[in-house]
Structure 1
Amino acid sequence: MEYDSMPLLNAFIKETLRFYPAAPYLERVAGEDLVIPLESEITMTSGERISHLPVKKGQFIAVAIAAYQRRVRLEALWGADADQFKPSRWLEDDPCKGKALGPYAHLASFSGGYRVCAGWRFALSEMQIILAELVLNFSFALSKNDPVRPLYAGILVPITEKGVKGLPLFIERISE
């Protein structure tokens, strides 16, 4: 099968990676003094307005991937519906109206730059193959009695409202 030519499958994968990145944030240490430009000015608690963030060598930096990829405040980047899980956004054009941060679909889910995930293409192939085969052979349903929400605990973990970690699913084989 040619998985890259399956638009619905790939739209679903892209939106899942945008909305639920496995690593919601990355931590880095600045190797040199640098300045991070901001897309728009922000007001500090002191009242000072700044358009860039100075970073000193050795300073820890947390990159908020999950916030970048789904925040409503980033309407200019992801559209007015940035807070909604909507795979169809990937079917027409590239929905990201900003600079590419990562190697795949403008998403930072696999990091970016010289620290990009070396296995991102393999991970993407695994997702395509496994999802295509599962959807072809099984139907899936969530429990209506115990909704699941994401819990960010270093990595993304599904958790039910009753506090059970994991994703309880009803799975049924589709008859041939």
Structure 2
Amino acid sequence: MQKSTELMFGRGLVWATGEIHRRQRGIMNPAFSAPQMRTFLPMFQDSASKLAQMLKEEVIDAEPSGQLVVDMIGWLSRTTLDIIGELGFGFQFGSLDGLENPLRKQNESLFIGTPPRYRLILKTLWYYLPELLLDLIYLPTPRYRQLRRYSAFMRNFSQGIVERSIIEGDGKDVMSVLLRANASEDPRRTLSDIEMVDQIATLLFAGHDTTAKSLTWYLYEIARNPECQERVRAEIAAIRANKWVEKLSATDLESMAYTLATIKETLRLHPIVNVMHKEATRDDVIPLSSPIVTKSGEQVSSIPVRKGTLVDLAVGVYNRLPEIWGADANEFKPERFLDIDKSNHSNIGVFGNLMTFSSGPSGCIGWRFAVLEMQTIIVTLLENFEFSPPPQTEKTRIYRKPAGGLMAPMVEGGRCAWMGLVVKSLEE
């Protein structure tokens, strides 16, 4: 599994474990602090406004009725790519402007279709092959060749980004902040040149496609629950009524309790990474919150694991456990986050007691970036548009399917992610 991760992202933060992970994380933390994230809000707002304006001009106004079935995932993917390009590396992708770039094509190719069974079998074999052997052998599968091409492309692309950031030096983007944090003369407190380059592939993945798909699932749930959609819109209007300026502050967004609850509920029901793979670095014992009974009738309250044991963390299962979330855990119910029973609150994740952003030392370093970005785009879209499901047919019915390691919305038989929603402009 670590070799597959290295092929996609190099030796960046997602790949790193143990002491390497602690060192990389410590150096990168300043670039993702809460104060740093707040400086990004104007860019989030500008990009969200640009998305709304283009939806009106190029999609909605083209239909006399003022509403149209729109594949929202494409629009959101282009928006989040532009955002991570500018805020992550000071790079202008121009995706919303229709500019084509090789990186976007490379990135999109990673998330096409559900993997065939033979690929799953071959991937399982990777667990049992030494890493050095995997570096030397050639696996004759389309996916392996695709990962190799992506890895080579990203190394070249990222090297150029780092070199430009070093020359400019005073940028406010994540990479510039990271380079300044990496200025220590102590090699134990710095990233190597390769590690610095490989963080870019990690940030592009974590700050682009994952957020776009999360936003897509948000619109899906809001479209299916119009009363929730209206309540969010009313909360935004109430905040606006007390403002003398056009743009909302980070404090304004944080005060929208119900809107935040709908975001948490979406991330609970639709974690983009459904399973996280871990490997025990030492012998340990995993305690269970509730005892289980084995097939032999033995009651077990803990599970011993040996060093090297592979452990799959079922994020989607935890996020829907009735013991944590109630008997209605499979329903979209944002209110569950407004009146939390503290006696049954486990505080596992970094956000909303969810496993969606992982937890502990491996918790997603960019979760604040993702949440603030989602808040900003959601507020802008719901102020300008009404979303509803299209007529339900086999061509429009949405399913959650794995695509390149992410849970994507797809129609039956589709190879690419698709989320068609009826979008209606709220302008008179």
The answer, yes or no, to whether TM exceeds 0.5 is yes
Counterpart Cα distance in 2 of 1:95 and 1:82: 17
Deviates more, 1:117-126 or 1:49-58: 49-58
Aligned to 1:41: 291
Q: Mind listing any 5+ residue stretches in structure 2 that lack a counterpart?
A: 1-247
Counterpart in 1 of 2:375? Answer: 128
The equivalent position to 1:156 in structure 2, one of 371, 383, 407, is: 407
Q: CA deviation at 1:116?
A: 0.8
Which structure has the highest strand share of the two?
A: 1
Q: Which amino acid aligns with 1:110?
A: F
User: Is this contact kept in 2: 1:11–1:88, CA < 8 A?
Assistant: yes
**1:114 aligned to 2:361?**
yes
Q: Distance in 1 between matches of 2:299 and 2:342?
A: 30
Q: CA deviation at 1:81?
A: 1.1
For 2:343 and 2:352, locate their aligned partners in 1 and report how far apart those are by CA, in whole Å.
8
Equivalent pairs counted in the alignment come to 172
How does 1:27-106 map onto structure 2 within 5 Å?
27-71=277-321, 74=322, 76-93=323-340, 97-106=344-353
Q: Distance in 1 between matches of 2:261 and 2:338?
A: 6
**Inter-CA distance 62–104: structure 2 relative to 1 (3 Å threshold):** same
Preserved CA contact (<8 Å) 1:77 1:96: no
SS of the residue aligned with 2:262? helix
Deviation per CA, 1:58-96, whole angstroms, max 9, x where unpaired?
Answer: 11111001100113xx3x311121121111212233588
* Partner in structure 2 of residue 169 of structure 1: 421
Equivalent pair of 1:78/1:96 in contact (CA under 8 Å): no
The alignment partner of 1:172 has SS state of strand
Determine the structure 1 residue equivalent to 2:273. Answer: 23
Deviating beyond 6 angstroms after TM superposition, the runs of 4 or more aligned structure 1 residues are none
Do the aligned residues in 2 keep the contact of 1:33 with 1:56 (CA within 8 Å)? yes
What residue number does 2:264 align with? 14
Contact 1:141/1:171 (CA < 8 Å) preserved in 2? yes
Aligned equivalent of 2:80: none
Higher-Rg member (1/2): 2
Normalization by structure 2: what TM-score? 0.38
Distance 1:96 1:88, change over 3 A: farther
Higher relative contact order (CA 8 A, sep 6+): 2
| Identical counterparts, % of pairs | 38
Distance 2:312 2:269 in 1: 18
Matched residue of 2:344: which SS? coil
Aligned-partner residue type, residue 167 of structure 1: M
Q: TM-score, normalised by structure 1?
A: 0.89
Shift of 1:113: 0.6
